[in-house]
Amino acid sequence: MFRLWSKGIPEDRGGAWFLAVLAVVAVAVPLLNQLVPASSALHLSVFGITLIGKYLCYGMLALAVDLIWGYCGILSLGHAAFFSLGGYAMGMYLMRQIGPRGVYGNPILPDFMVFLNYKSLPWFWYGFNHFSLAVVMVVLTPGLLALVFGWFAFRSRVTGVYFSIITQALTYALLLAFFRNDMGFGGNNGFTDFKDILGFDLHSDGTHVVLLVVTAVALAASYMACRTIVDSRAGRVIRAIRDAESRTRFLGYPVESYKLWLFVFSAVIAGVAGALYVPQIGIINPSEFSPINSIEAVIWVAVGGRGTLYGAVAGAVLVNYAKTYLTGAFPEIWLYALGALFVLVTLFLPRGVIGLLSGRRREKADPKPIE
Amino acid sequence: MSVRDKRLQLNNVTVSFDGFKALNDLSLYVDPGELLCIIGPNGAGKTTMMDVVTGKTRPDSGTASFGDDYDLLHLSEADIVDAGIARKFQKPTVFEQLTVFENLELALAGVRSFLKTLRARITDAQHKRIQQVLDIIGLSQLRDAPGRILAHGQKQWLEIGMLLMQNPELLLVDEPVAGMTPQEIERTSELLLSLAGEHSVVVVEHDMAFVRSIARRVVVLHEGHVIAEGNMDKVQQDPKVIEVYLGV
């Protein structure tokens, strides 16, 4: 009778479905935009592409949150910080690409610097006219912050709700810092008015189609990387840490280093998601750091289904679709709807929408309750 | 298997918590291959003694060594595990979401770092070893069952199995039969007796009938100090022990 559990352990049917859907999106979106005439009802406007691109970026952020929360029990309420830092790094490149086409026509200084009376480019803006440096920084900035922050937090054995609170404080601190004009990141207004990326016009449909396809590929690659990790022995150690941390330590596993590397990897995925988000949306400002964004990301994961990876992406898309609809139709009820959704899912769908779909709801739900 | 000849030796170990002496000038030894039972009333220092041996608690004074080469007071918890000391906690903690097999896999001696476990594959020899331990602890039938469905006794055996995967020289076992059914207790004493010889085993236990069934040498702790030592009969007739235990 115990054969029951041995079947289907390494095979990843949900993941196969997920990648298939992603592939369909990556093929259908360009076709519907480029080949279907604008007069047709099936034509996908650039607005639609941007929306789908945004959902996919949020899907990547949700994936990053699920990797650490669903599998290792680390509830980060500051993942939007890594997302935003990746976005800012990309934004700096896009700002430098504007060059003399800005309102003030300064070939070196972005508009906001001219406006704020900067005499010269701050040192940390050097090199951001090169795409390659921006890409490096997209990975490095969130990665390094997660490394330093995680090193202190995990080494001091900060866990559970305390960890969640300090991650929330981290993103709030960054929010306040990026609001300041003298930080050199555009203060309140952030970056916008982007013109092009790698020489391609950001106002053309074609560029948006390519960005969407790149995002889909990045999401698929992140998914497969996460899947590889969680299916390896390291992944079993990570789940062991979630279930019984000190027991894992007693087996000789350096628990802190597992948490740290997982946290860093997760932060990098979030950073890349942010970097893909900014050119598609066309703006990045400090509000991206606001604590509610990180909390929303956690809700996406909870709604979709913790500890499945693809469930997190599904949750991100579903909740954001609902958000797009509700904030348009009934703007005042959105936050209540979000809160109610979270409560209902926690109470009635501990395994999320995916748990409901897969029909394998176990009486005792797998993940431990939120700590 | 390598030569197993390390003797655990604690000399004059004192541990105090805010003035309360959990261990008071405690000295004891465990010979290679021996099965030693430690008994004592609540608060006698049994758990603290294990904490000292495993590096969780550092004593205020005294020495603790394992063989000639390992000074337990200056090794990290992980290094002590590497030195061959394994501990089974009172409450069984197996990994509930992992299968019995996976529980044993994680307990395998060998790679521990993130980057190495990322690429680790089970070798044939390791597979055989896991199977062997499954047989020893009697859980072969349940190898693919998740830890959470196991009965209490099965969890305890699985945990002992996990310790065995590390091939320890010394097993510290804290109250193994608490909460077990008589059948489970009997099965556990067989298991522990079969392990002695190959491993040194230290069992801390309250259950006198159980101790009597497995013990060769018994050490009685009271207020952080050894008050009696010897075989079960000798210990039970010791006036100090009778006083402490009120007629056991």
B98/A2 CB distance under 8 A: no
Burial classification of residue A309, based on how many CB atoms lie within 10 Å of its CB (0-12 exposed, 13-18 middle, 19 or more buried): buried
Read off the pLDDT of each residue in A56-80 and give the average, rounded to a whole number.
97
Chain A residues whose CB is inside 8 A of the B114 CB are 234, 237, 254, 257-258, 261-262
Range of the domain at B168: 8-245
Write down the pLDDT at residue B1: 40
Mean pLDDT, chain B, whole residue set: 90
Q: How many domains does chain B have?
A: 1
Q: How many CB atoms sit inside 10 A of residue B228's CB? A: 21
Mean pLDDT of chain A: 91
Report CA-CA distances (Å) from A181 to A177, B10, B96: 9, 64, 51
pLDDT one-digit tens code per residue, B100-145: 999 999 998 888 999 999 999 999 999 999 999 999 999 999 999 9
Distance of CA A357 to the CA centre of its chain: 24
Is the CB of B78 less than 8 angstroms away from the CB of A248?
no
Between A370 and A151, residue with greater pLDDT: A151
For residue A26, how far is the Cα from the chain centroid? 19
- B58 within domain boundaries: yes
User: Distance between CA atoms of A216 and B78, rounded to whole angstroms?
Assistant: 42
CA of B100 vs chain A CAs: smallest distance (Å): 11
A257, B99: Cβ pair inside 8 Å?
no
One-letter-per-residue 3-state SS of A163-230 = HHHHHHHHHHHHHHHHHCHHHCCCHHHCEECCCEECCEECCCHHHHHHHHHHHHHHHHHHHHHHHHHH
A161: closest CA of chain B, how far (Å): 22
**CA B78 – CA A186 distance, rounded (Å):** 49
Percent of chain B past pLDDT 70, that is, above it, reads 97
* Per-residue pLDDT reduced to its tens digit, A318-335: 999 999 999 989 889 988
Tell me whether B64 touches chain A (CB under 8 Å).
Answer: no
Q: How far is A355 from chain B (nearest CA, A)?
A: 16
Residue B2 lies in a domain: no
Q: How far apart are CA A7 and CA A237, in angstroms?
A: 21
Say how far apart CA A288 and CA A276 lie, in whole Å: 14
DSSP-derived pairing of the beta strands B170-174 and B200-204: parallel
Residue A344 burial (CB count, 10 A): 11
CB B93 within 8 A of CB A240: no
**SS3 state at A5:** helix
Residue B3 lies in a domain: no
Q: What is the mean pLDDT of residues A258-285?
A: 97
pLDDT at A66: 98
Mutate to test the interface with B, among A230, A247, A248 (most CBs of B within 10 A): A247
- What is the pLDDT at residue A151? 97
Tokens in use for B62? 């005294």
B1 inside domain = no
A→B interface, C-beta within 8 Å: 2-3, 5-6, 228-229, 232-234, 236-237, 239-240, 242-244, 246-254, 257-258, 261-262, 364, 366
CATH code at B90? 3.40.50.300
Q: Measured between beta carbons, which residues in chain B are less than 8 angstroms from residue A249?
A: 77-78
Mutate to test the interface with A, among B106, B115, B143 (most CBs of A within 10 A): B106
Between positions 141 and 200 of B, the ones with CB within 8 A of A are: 141-146, 148, 162, 166
B70-71 and B225-230 strand pairing: unpaired
Sign for the pseudo-dihedral over CA of A36, A37, A43, A49:
positive
Residue with tokens 């003030």: A104
pLDDT level of residue A371 (50, 70, 90 thresholds): very low
CB contact under 8 A, A232 and B78: no
Contact between residue B153 and residue B187 where contact means Cβ atoms under 8 Å apart: yes
| Whole-prediction pTM | 0.85
User: CB–CB of A277/A54 below 8 Å?
Assistant: yes
d(CA A30, CA A307): 32
pLDDT above 50: residue B2: no
Query: What is this model's ipTM?
Result: 0.82
**pLDDT tens digits for range A194-214:** 999 999 999 999 999 999 999
User: pLDDT at position A360, please?
Assistant: 52
CA A187, distance to chain mean position in Å, is: 22
Give the integer Cα–Cα distance in Å for A33 and A50. Answer: 12
Q: How far apart are CA A197 and CA A201, in angstroms?
A: 7
pLDDT band for position B247 (cuts 50, 70, 90): low
* Tokens (6 digits) for A260: 């740290």
